[in-house]
Structure formats: C-alpha cells, structure tokens
Amino acid sequence: MGDSPLITKSKEFALQIIKVCNYVKQNKKESVLTNQLIRSGTSVGANIREAFYGHGSADFIAKLQIALKECSESEYWLELLIESGYYDNSDILDKCIEVKKLLITSINTAKSNLNK
C-alpha cells in the first residue's frame, strides 16, 4: 500500500492544501473558501487510504469514488481562490487535476477487474 502513487500523491496534495490554506488565511484574511478547501482537500487522501482497507472490491471502488468527488470539489475551491485573486500559484490546481486523473484511472481499472 505504501508504494501506491495514488496514496503518495494524494498525501502530498493534502500537505500542499494545508500550506495554501494557511497562507491565504494569514495573508489574505480569507477563511470561508479555505475552510471548505481544507476539508475537501485533505479528505481525498483519507478516503484513498480507507479504500485500501475496504471490505472487497465494491467497497474499494466506492471509497475511491468518494475521493474523486472530494477531489472535484477541491478543484472548484482552488479555481475560486485563484480566479478571485486570493491565491496566484496554479501549481496546486495542476496537482489536484493530476490526482483526479489517477483516481479516474484507478476506478476504471478496479471496475474492469471487478467485471472479469
């Protein structure tokens, strides 16, 4: 489990989310968007981790789908922060999209394996 790129990248993403939210709160005095982002952004990795200890393939897929929803929500909050001018570095958005693509691929692979 520890070698999974999905687990590694989602944890890195969560750590970056924490840093972004702390920066925006301290320097821009904005907390509504960052409170939402920190919940969804850190939830991605938590749900991925939980998926690896799921009760069978269907549970694994369900947890990854929840992670995908949280990742999509995080993408939305990041877009708002960037487009509103609260945060000007889009690298974090690129990381989010990378994790989202990994999740989609993982879900599709797991579903394919389930149907074999």
- Asked if residue 63 lies in contact with residue 47, where contact means CB atoms within 8 angstroms, the answer is yes
Total domains present in the chain? 1
Provide the pLDDT for residue 2.
55
96, pLDDT greater than 60: yes
- What CATH number should be reported for the domain holding residue 69? 1.20.1440.60
21-77 residue pLDDT tens: 999 999 999 999 999 999 999 999 999 999 999 899 999 999 999 999 999 999 999
Residue-number span of the structural domain to which 101 is assigned:
5-114
Mean pLDDT of 81-107: 97
Q: How far is CA 46 from CA 13, 53, 80, in A?
A: 11, 11, 23
87, pLDDT greater than 80: yes
Alpha helices in 29-56 (DSSP H): 32-51
Provide the pLDDT for residue 115.
78
Amino acid at 22: N
Listed in sequence order, the residues at least 6 apart from 95 whose beta carbon sits closer than 8 Å to its beta carbon are 9, 12, 13, 16
Distance, in Å, from the CA atom of 19 to the CA atom of 30, rounded to the nearest integer, reads 14
